[in-house]
Structure 1
């Protein structure tokens, strides 16, 4: 296909699917080439949930006409049957209303992004009429498949990183030799409380630490079948935990709980859609999971409603290894919870104070959630530092710093190292006898190819990248979140999870061996990484100084709300509550030299001072609006 100069793209997804990263990345690629792109709002997302109804089809057609759309991009990364049905109903509505270009209408093309099986079925059912993307395409490949003329593609988008090539070559050699398949489970030192309800992450790290440390590996596990009952799904998960425990490769299992488990725990779910994930709904089921998983440590998603109460349930019935909260996220703004952003912050701070009393670690899932929504790299690092300062203020003693690499997927490795090192340096500056930082890096959610052989190579490569965050410290990272190589193709089963652990641990040990022998670059001295890190540190420190000088009580729910709403953290791709957060979404960001930067209307990179100056002007208005909101008034 070939796009026209005046093409107007619409990117749409149902609200049932929380994945937004691919949609936002594709939209920004096209914007960088000068095309207008409109992302569907909450109303359109809800329409797509039930697009089978004629009234919703009429609303979609009216919206397309109103916005003069000429190309529709659809996305759905959950059940393939639902994806095929959604595309089919959209195409039916377009044809019935004479909207296709072949009928004399305005729509020149339809594209779909989703899992490989969904793409295959859509290609077969609709005779390749729909252009499909599986998520592994490079920026250049994506634009080429759309037919974007070469002269419209920015030069920096065509560039790559030699370091990334080195990592992929390392990964390819490791997978080709298959030595990782001979790796046996790591023999960890025992200690009195191991595998009991008195076990903790800190005890596990302290008892098992060695000079050349093989990180504790955590994996997300979440089987679900719509053909099984809720109880059967929970029992299958318990069986998976028992298998993973018996085989001994994995150290920490994260329960991939369902949306209903997070939002409606303990309630009668009736016919509410589960949306995938383990449908845990009783405290007793958490106890059974903990028993099946032992001696692995276990953790789970936070609740999105009754959040402090849910944290207490996880503590008392699961002995959760640590608690995780997303602060600005998992609420109405991203469609993941029932609270508005301010109420969410209030509930999260209450929960953090409870966590502090338990002495359990706290992990803020903030940097990558900003990254999912188009935030610049400065905001990525800033959000981690702000969360750490808040955590220390409320009494948290152990802070788990999760660093999601490859977010967005086209980030260069040297920039990933800079982001990780900048965040780590800032957060570690807060360490003292009452505040400890634990680094937990991981691969990106949409990094892996649906080609499983290539995905194995990518997993080995990103494992080496992870070890280059602190290349001179072989006790780092103490914890690593393994994203299974099958992520882009299918749900990871226990054997796939174990193989992913084998690849990860083997890659780290082999990369360390090659580093000691001088066979791979010493990234501790890489000038490009050092320069990029220093740029991020300076930008973040300037913004933090301005926040602390101008925002009242910055490390509080009110302060965090004001920081975001005033525009200190550019985040252009929010799907809901756009009016309330217009100063966060007004910024434009773009990929440049392997990173993401806030830019002006001419595409020039903004200084930290420019961001700060604009945000400071908005503080009085935002604080007034928040005061009105707290008084129960609309604004």
Structure 2
């Protein structure tokens, strides 16, 4: 068994500030190092003596005072380590932005921390030194990257600017920042719908809603742009037609980290595609099955689409379960379960948490050796105000609450989304805000589930969601497996078992559901605005459950 690596650390010269040193050594302990603390205001000769006596692998020097004084100290320090033959150690420095600038002048110091790096970045540095893999490219598959980064979540953001040149340039900046683990490409609507039939594209809509990808090489360019910094994974939306061809394209060009495919959407249900609903369900399922057969993780972005159309909690939770059930039955091993908070926007943090816990428990009840889900949290787009500072507050508060789910992935949505498309500047700013909020939450949150109101609502949602599931099974009683039968799913939407106010006047949906926010939660209501139970709602549709 390999012996632990050792770090010695202290504040040099007359600097008595030791909080940073102690925090660093505490993190190093957690990462498997033996640590030696020299204290504050350590004279140069004592620091050198400590290195000789303890023979560490890494020497951590801290200094937060005057820049000129530090320069003189480091000149002497360098002379002493040469005098005693101590150049074989790894020397690192931590201080203020000003003192860090001075430390970078000295070649014997291999790494400088100026307070701008997050704890997870420092932890990754320590792991690299511990395992002697600091120059190795981080894992390039989702499951391995999650393990590599644990207990810190992977950070994701999307990018899709009006031109490919802008998008490529911003991807380079994001990769160099080392802050994102996953970059999601956002193609424009022309590409999503007509990539394989370019003659159907409307040139006036080029760049609308995303980047104008038109060829295989366009995707390859973006992948090459990401081959720097911390080598983030790339992924892309699935397209709204020709989903299997699009999946193959993404697999071959950007090594798609995971596929995001709806179950019922991108059809005449939402008019993001001209595919009839039944045809769309079948094609979506085939695309899910194809990705599963290739070993590609899959996200079924379904339940939040219902929430964006103001469904009540029971429908949202039921569709989360049905989506995960479909993924499992279609052969998916690694499933990305998205938990979009703040949607619909009048939901309270307490009721949002209850809803997400209900989803989590039902989805994870499907786990076995062949089916594992990863939790991905995000802020709801509709919750962002157009004022940038208010939006920053919304982003931070939302992700602080979402940290209770202990996500494997945080899908950061830049605070500028309600104002303009995010560039690397807004994305990096947003990621830093979210990372800080999450790291604070990691110190310990209250047990929200101990709140009897949260627990009661969670159990109510689970029970009502399963009433919806049973109603669908009753509707498809002649089917071998109603929950994955496209015709049964279509019928569940047409009859109103699955419904939302935002589907009113959509010919393929019932569109009669009324919902209302009451005490921070969304309920189905009658024509007088009074809440009704899910059993009552389903009975009114002709289903006794």
Of 154, 157, 174 in structure 2, the residue corresponding to residue 216 of structure 1 is 154
1:454 CA displacement: 2.2
2:293 match: secondary structure: helix
Deviations 1:263-307 (A, max 9, x none): 111424463423231011111111111121131111111111111
Q: Quote the residue 2:501 is aligned against.
A: 572
Q: Quote the residue 1:273 is aligned against.
A: 205
Distance 1:195 1:336 in 2: 38
Give yes or no for contact 1:567–1:614 (8 Å, CA) kept in 2: no
Q: Quote the residue 2:3 is aligned against.
A: none
Equivalence map 1:604-623=2 (5 Å): 604-616=530-542
Q: Quote the residue 1:92 is aligned against.
A: none
Residue-pair matches, total: 414
Q: TM-score, normalised by structure 2?
A: 0.72
Of 417, 421, 444 in structure 1, the residue corresponding to residue 357 of structure 2 is 421
Equivalence map 1:468-479=2 (5 Å): 468-469=404-405, 476-479=406-409
Name the CA shift for 1:549/1:334 in 2 (closer, same or farther; >3 Å).
Answer: closer
2:448 match: secondary structure: coil
Give yes or no for contact 1:331–1:339 (8 Å, CA) kept in 2: yes
Q: Quote the residue 2:427 is aligned against.
A: 497
1:487 match: secondary structure: helix
Work out which structure has the larger RCO, using CA pairs closer than 8 Å and 6 or more positions apart in sequence: 1
Distance 1:217 1:181 in 2: 17
Distance 1:405 1:539 in 2: 20
Distance 1:587 1:575 in 2: 8
Give yes or no for contact 2:301–2:338 (8 Å, CA) kept in 1: yes
Distance 2:271 2:513 in 1: 21
1:593 pairs with 2:519: yes
Q: Quote the residue 2:466 is aligned against.
A: 541
Q: TM-score, normalised by structure 1?
A: 0.62
Deviates more, 1:549-558 or 1:403-412: 549-558
Name the CA shift for 1:180/1:539 in 2 (closer, same or farther; >3 Å).
Answer: farther
Distance 1:256 1:550 in 2: 37
1:182 CA displacement: 6.2
Distance 1:418 1:252 in 2: 28
Q: Quote the residue 2:233 is aligned against.
A: 297
Distance 1:616 1:290 in 2: 52
1:579 CA displacement: 3.3
Give yes or no for contact 1:333–1:575 (8 Å, CA) kept in 2: no
Q: Quote the residue 1:207 is aligned against.
A: 148
Distance 1:194 1:311 in 2: 29
Distance 2:203 2:409 in 1: 39
Q: Quote the residue 2:58 is aligned against.
A: none
Bigger Cα Rg: 2
Distance 2:367 2:136 in 1: 27
Deviates more, 1:402-411 or 1:198-207: 198-207
Distance 1:477 1:445 in 2: 19
2:393 match: secondary structure: helix
Q: Quote the residue 1:559 is aligned against.
A: 488
Name the CA shift for 1:270/1:410 in 2 (closer, same or farther; >3 Å).
Answer: closer
1:248 pairs with 2:178: yes
Deviations 1:496-546 (A, max 9, x none): 111111111111112332x3xxxx643241222111101101111222123
Give yes or no for contact 2:120–2:152 (8 Å, CA) kept in 1: no
Residue segments in structure 2 that go unaligned for 5+ positions in a row = 1-113
Equivalence map 1:73-112=2 (5 Å): none
Distance 1:575 1:280 in 2: 33
